[in-house]
Structure 1
Amino acid sequence: MTEWLDLEQQRQWRSLLTGTSALFAALNHDLESQTDLGLNEYEVLVRLSESPERTLRMSVLAEGLVHSRSRITHTVARMERRGLVRRQPSTCDGRGVDCAMTDAGYAALVAAARVHVDSVRTRLVDIVTPAELAAIGEGFERVAAAIAEDPPD
Protein backbone atom coordinates (compact mmCIF):
# COMPACT_ATOMS: atom_id res chain seq x y z
CA MET A 1 0.00 0.00 0.00
CA THR A 2 1.35 3.41 -0.95
CA GLU A 3 2.17 5.79 1.88
CA TRP A 4 1.20 9.13 0.36
CA LEU A 5 3.10 12.29 1.15
CA ASP A 6 1.49 14.51 3.73
CA LEU A 7 0.88 18.16 2.88
CA GLU A 8 4.20 19.37 4.31
CA GLN A 9 6.19 16.62 2.57
CA GLN A 10 4.39 17.40 -0.67
CA ARG A 11 5.19 21.11 -0.29
CA GLN A 12 8.86 20.36 0.39
CA TRP A 13 9.06 17.92 -2.53
CA ARG A 14 7.58 20.47 -4.93
CA SER A 15 9.91 23.16 -3.58
CA LEU A 16 12.83 20.84 -4.27
CA LEU A 17 11.67 20.21 -7.84
CA THR A 18 11.06 23.88 -8.56
CA GLY A 19 14.17 25.09 -6.75
CA THR A 20 16.61 22.65 -8.34
CA SER A 21 15.17 23.24 -11.81
CA ALA A 22 15.38 27.01 -11.35
CA LEU A 23 18.88 26.78 -9.85
CA PHE A 24 20.34 24.67 -12.65
CA ALA A 25 18.64 26.81 -15.31
CA ALA A 26 20.07 29.98 -13.73
CA LEU A 27 23.56 28.49 -13.37
CA ASN A 28 23.44 27.38 -16.99
CA HIS A 29 22.21 30.80 -18.13
CA ASP A 30 24.91 32.60 -16.19
CA LEU A 31 27.62 30.43 -17.76
CA GLU A 32 26.23 30.55 -21.30
CA SER A 33 25.67 34.30 -21.23
CA GLN A 34 29.24 35.05 -20.08
CA THR A 35 31.26 32.17 -21.54
CA ASP A 36 31.03 29.73 -24.43
CA LEU A 37 30.14 26.86 -22.07
CA GLY A 38 26.93 25.39 -20.78
CA LEU A 39 26.72 23.83 -17.32
CA ASN A 40 27.05 20.25 -18.61
CA GLU A 41 30.14 21.16 -20.63
CA TYR A 42 31.64 23.00 -17.68
CA GLU A 43 31.12 19.95 -15.46
CA VAL A 44 32.80 17.69 -18.03
CA LEU A 45 35.83 20.01 -18.02
CA VAL A 46 35.89 20.12 -14.21
CA ARG A 47 35.90 16.31 -13.97
CA LEU A 48 38.65 16.05 -16.57
CA SER A 49 40.73 18.75 -14.84
CA GLU A 50 40.63 16.75 -11.61
CA SER A 51 41.78 13.53 -13.29
CA PRO A 52 45.32 12.34 -13.96
CA GLU A 53 46.54 13.67 -17.30
CA ARG A 54 43.14 15.42 -17.58
CA THR A 55 41.74 12.22 -19.06
CA LEU A 56 38.86 9.91 -18.10
CA ARG A 57 37.26 6.89 -19.67
CA MET A 58 33.95 7.93 -21.23
CA SER A 59 31.99 5.45 -19.09
CA VAL A 60 33.60 6.78 -15.90
CA LEU A 61 32.85 10.34 -16.97
CA ALA A 62 29.20 9.46 -17.62
CA GLU A 63 28.91 7.68 -14.26
CA GLY A 64 30.52 10.55 -12.34
CA LEU A 65 28.19 13.09 -13.92
CA VAL A 66 25.16 10.78 -13.61
CA HIS A 67 24.53 11.05 -17.35
CA SER A 68 23.59 8.30 -19.75
CA ARG A 69 26.36 7.15 -22.06
CA SER A 70 24.35 8.53 -24.97
CA ARG A 71 24.03 11.96 -23.37
CA ILE A 72 27.72 12.18 -22.49
CA THR A 73 28.63 11.04 -26.01
CA HIS A 74 26.59 13.89 -27.53
CA THR A 75 28.02 16.46 -25.10
CA VAL A 76 31.60 15.32 -25.70
CA ALA A 77 31.05 15.27 -29.49
CA ARG A 78 29.96 18.93 -29.36
CA MET A 79 32.95 19.80 -27.21
CA GLU A 80 35.29 17.87 -29.50
CA ARG A 81 34.08 19.85 -32.54
CA ARG A 82 34.98 23.02 -30.61
CA GLY A 83 38.44 21.69 -29.75
CA LEU A 84 37.83 21.52 -25.99
CA VAL A 85 38.34 17.76 -25.67
CA ARG A 86 39.43 14.83 -27.78
CA ARG A 87 38.38 11.21 -27.75
CA GLN A 88 41.03 8.53 -28.06
CA PRO A 89 41.39 4.79 -27.51
CA SER A 90 41.72 3.95 -23.83
CA THR A 91 45.29 3.73 -22.64
CA CYS A 92 44.30 1.04 -20.10
CA ASP A 93 43.07 -1.70 -22.38
CA GLY A 94 42.39 -0.28 -25.83
CA ARG A 95 38.77 -1.46 -25.77
CA GLY A 96 37.23 1.67 -24.27
CA VAL A 97 37.33 5.30 -25.23
CA ASP A 98 38.98 8.04 -23.17
CA CYS A 99 38.06 11.69 -23.16
CA ALA A 100 41.02 14.04 -22.78
CA MET A 101 40.93 17.77 -22.15
CA THR A 102 42.86 19.87 -24.65
CA ASP A 103 44.79 23.02 -23.81
CA ALA A 104 41.88 25.00 -25.29
CA GLY A 105 39.51 23.13 -22.97
CA TYR A 106 41.64 23.97 -19.96
CA ALA A 107 41.75 27.63 -20.99
CA ALA A 108 37.95 27.64 -21.37
CA LEU A 109 37.59 26.10 -17.90
CA VAL A 110 39.90 28.65 -16.30
CA ALA A 111 38.02 31.49 -18.00
CA ALA A 112 34.63 30.15 -16.88
CA ALA A 113 35.53 29.16 -13.31
CA ARG A 114 35.04 32.60 -11.74
CA VAL A 115 31.72 33.06 -13.51
CA HIS A 116 30.51 29.69 -12.26
CA VAL A 117 31.72 30.11 -8.67
CA ASP A 118 30.21 33.61 -8.48
CA SER A 119 26.94 32.21 -9.83
CA VAL A 120 26.87 29.32 -7.33
CA ARG A 121 27.56 31.78 -4.53
CA THR A 122 24.91 34.27 -5.67
CA ARG A 123 22.26 31.70 -6.55
CA LEU A 124 22.70 29.29 -3.61
CA VAL A 125 25.47 29.75 -1.04
CA ASP A 126 24.62 33.36 -0.13
CA ILE A 127 20.87 32.64 0.00
CA VAL A 128 20.70 29.70 2.40
CA THR A 129 22.23 29.59 5.85
CA PRO A 130 25.41 27.57 6.45
CA ALA A 131 23.32 25.03 8.38
CA GLU A 132 20.84 24.73 5.49
CA LEU A 133 23.66 24.31 2.98
CA ALA A 134 25.21 21.60 5.17
CA ALA A 135 21.82 19.86 5.46
CA ILE A 136 21.32 19.98 1.68
CA GLY A 137 24.78 18.53 1.07
CA GLU A 138 24.49 15.84 3.72
CA GLY A 139 20.98 14.90 2.64
CA PHE A 140 21.97 14.49 -0.98
CA GLU A 141 25.07 12.51 -0.07
CA ARG A 142 22.72 10.01 1.59
CA VAL A 143 20.34 10.08 -1.40
CA ALA A 144 23.21 9.42 -3.83
CA ALA A 145 24.59 6.61 -1.65
CA ALA A 146 21.18 4.93 -1.34
CA ILE A 147 20.63 5.09 -5.09
CA ALA A 148 24.15 3.74 -5.73
CA GLU A 149 23.29 0.75 -3.50
CA ASP A 150 20.03 0.12 -5.38
CA PRO A 151 20.44 1.69 -8.83
CA PRO A 152 17.52 1.96 -11.23
CA ASP A 153 17.53 -0.57 -14.04
Structure 2
Amino acid sequence: MKISIVRRKTIAIEEFEGTEWPIADVEHYGRDDVEFKAKHYFLKAEQDGTIWGILQMKIRAGVCTVSDVLVSHEKRGQGIGKKLMHEAEKIATKQGAHKIFLITGRDWKAADFYKSLGYKVTGERQNDLAHADFIEFAKFLG
Protein backbone atom coordinates (compact mmCIF):
# COMPACT_ATOMS: atom_id res chain seq x y z
CA MET A 1 0.00 0.00 0.00
CA LYS A 2 1.25 3.47 -0.90
CA ILE A 3 0.44 6.56 1.22
CA SER A 4 0.64 9.88 -0.63
CA ILE A 5 -0.10 13.55 -0.04
CA VAL A 6 -2.78 15.01 -2.28
CA ARG A 7 -2.97 18.75 -2.92
CA ARG A 8 -6.76 18.86 -3.18
CA LYS A 9 -9.70 16.58 -2.69
CA THR A 10 -10.27 14.55 -5.85
CA ILE A 11 -13.55 13.19 -7.20
CA ALA A 12 -12.38 9.70 -6.18
CA ILE A 13 -11.87 10.89 -2.58
CA GLU A 14 -15.30 12.56 -2.56
CA GLU A 15 -16.88 9.34 -3.82
CA PHE A 16 -15.05 7.33 -1.15
CA GLU A 17 -16.28 9.72 1.56
CA GLY A 18 -19.82 9.63 0.17
CA THR A 19 -19.86 5.87 0.55
CA GLU A 20 -17.94 5.43 3.80
CA TRP A 21 -19.01 8.37 6.01
CA PRO A 22 -22.68 7.33 6.23
CA ILE A 23 -21.58 3.86 7.35
CA ALA A 24 -19.20 5.33 9.94
CA ASP A 25 -21.89 7.76 11.14
CA VAL A 26 -24.32 4.89 11.80
CA GLU A 27 -21.58 3.05 13.70
CA HIS A 28 -20.70 6.13 15.78
CA TYR A 29 -24.00 7.98 16.21
CA GLY A 30 -26.65 5.40 15.39
CA ARG A 31 -27.83 7.41 12.39
CA ASP A 32 -26.55 8.90 9.15
CA ASP A 33 -28.37 12.25 9.11
CA VAL A 34 -25.94 14.29 11.24
CA GLU A 35 -25.01 17.56 9.47
CA PHE A 36 -21.23 17.80 9.47
CA LYS A 37 -20.90 20.64 6.97
CA ALA A 38 -19.80 23.63 9.02
CA LYS A 39 -21.48 27.03 8.88
CA HIS A 40 -19.00 29.83 9.51
CA TYR A 41 -19.86 33.20 11.04
CA PHE A 42 -17.78 36.34 11.49
CA LEU A 43 -19.16 38.99 13.84
CA LYS A 44 -17.84 42.51 14.26
CA ALA A 45 -18.58 45.22 16.79
CA GLU A 46 -18.36 48.52 14.98
CA GLN A 47 -19.13 52.12 15.80
CA ASP A 48 -18.86 55.05 13.38
CA GLY A 49 -16.88 52.94 10.93
CA THR A 50 -14.33 51.76 13.50
CA ILE A 51 -14.12 48.08 14.38
CA TRP A 52 -13.75 47.59 18.13
CA GLY A 53 -14.13 43.82 18.33
CA ILE A 54 -14.52 40.62 16.35
CA LEU A 55 -15.68 37.06 16.92
CA GLN A 56 -15.25 34.05 14.64
CA MET A 57 -17.31 30.88 15.08
CA LYS A 58 -18.50 27.80 13.26
CA ILE A 59 -21.43 25.50 13.87
CA ARG A 60 -21.02 21.84 13.01
CA ALA A 61 -23.10 18.83 14.08
CA GLY A 62 -24.87 20.86 16.78
CA VAL A 63 -21.73 22.32 18.35
CA CYS A 64 -20.70 25.96 18.00
CA THR A 65 -16.95 26.45 18.25
CA VAL A 66 -15.83 29.99 19.01
CA SER A 67 -12.29 30.26 17.68
CA ASP A 68 -11.48 33.96 17.95
CA VAL A 69 -12.67 36.76 20.19
CA LEU A 70 -10.68 39.98 20.00
CA VAL A 71 -11.56 43.36 21.49
CA SER A 72 -9.48 46.50 21.00
CA HIS A 73 -7.18 47.18 23.94
CA GLU A 74 -8.72 50.68 24.08
CA LYS A 75 -12.24 49.32 24.66
CA ARG A 76 -11.74 46.32 26.94
CA GLY A 77 -14.00 46.20 29.97
CA GLN A 78 -16.81 48.10 28.22
CA GLY A 79 -19.02 45.12 27.38
CA ILE A 80 -18.03 44.61 23.75
CA GLY A 81 -16.84 41.04 24.28
CA LYS A 82 -19.97 40.25 26.26
CA LYS A 83 -22.18 41.59 23.45
CA LEU A 84 -20.26 39.56 20.86
CA MET A 85 -20.60 36.38 22.95
CA HIS A 86 -24.32 36.95 23.53
CA GLU A 87 -24.84 37.41 19.79
CA ALA A 88 -22.87 34.22 19.12
CA GLU A 89 -25.10 32.36 21.60
CA LYS A 90 -28.24 33.72 19.91
CA ILE A 91 -27.03 32.66 16.47
CA ALA A 92 -25.96 29.23 17.72
CA THR A 93 -29.32 28.66 19.40
CA LYS A 94 -31.22 29.79 16.30
CA GLN A 95 -29.14 27.40 14.18
CA GLY A 96 -29.98 24.48 16.48
CA ALA A 97 -26.67 24.16 18.33
CA HIS A 98 -26.87 22.51 21.73
CA LYS A 99 -23.42 23.56 22.96
CA ILE A 100 -20.75 26.25 22.59
CA PHE A 101 -17.10 25.24 22.92
CA LEU A 102 -13.96 27.40 23.09
CA ILE A 103 -10.41 27.43 24.42
CA THR A 104 -8.36 30.19 25.99
CA GLY A 105 -5.05 30.55 27.75
CA ARG A 106 -5.04 29.15 31.27
CA ASP A 107 -3.67 32.35 32.82
CA TRP A 108 -5.35 34.85 30.51
CA LYS A 109 -7.95 37.38 31.69
CA ALA A 110 -10.34 35.82 29.18
CA ALA A 111 -10.66 32.71 31.39
CA ASP A 112 -12.45 34.71 34.10
CA PHE A 113 -14.49 36.49 31.43
CA TYR A 114 -15.88 33.20 30.07
CA LYS A 115 -16.59 31.93 33.59
CA SER A 116 -18.59 35.12 34.25
CA LEU A 117 -20.74 34.27 31.21
CA GLY A 118 -21.57 30.82 32.57
CA TYR A 119 -18.99 28.76 30.70
CA LYS A 120 -17.61 25.73 32.56
CA VAL A 121 -14.09 24.32 32.37
CA THR A 122 -14.23 20.95 30.61
CA GLY A 123 -10.57 20.19 29.99
CA GLU A 124 -6.96 21.28 29.78
CA ARG A 125 -4.42 21.45 26.99
CA GLN A 126 -0.91 21.45 28.34
CA ASN A 127 2.03 22.67 26.27
CA ASP A 128 -0.29 23.55 23.38
CA LEU A 129 -0.08 26.49 20.95
CA ALA A 130 3.28 28.27 21.27
CA HIS A 131 3.96 25.95 24.25
CA ALA A 132 1.31 27.70 26.36
CA ASP A 133 -1.23 25.94 28.58
CA PHE A 134 -4.89 26.31 27.63
CA ILE A 135 -8.24 25.43 29.16
CA GLU A 136 -11.34 24.26 27.35
CA PHE A 137 -14.73 25.77 28.14
CA ALA A 138 -18.25 24.71 27.22
CA LYS A 139 -21.76 26.03 27.76
CA PHE A 140 -24.92 24.09 27.00
CA LEU A 141 -27.66 26.04 25.25
CA GLY A 142 -31.40 25.87 25.59
Fold similarity call, TM over 0.5: no
The normalised TM-score by structure 2 is 0.31
Structure with a larger share of its residues in strand: 2
Q: Which has the higher contact order (CA 8 A, sep 6+)?
A: 1
Larger helix share, 1 or 2: 1
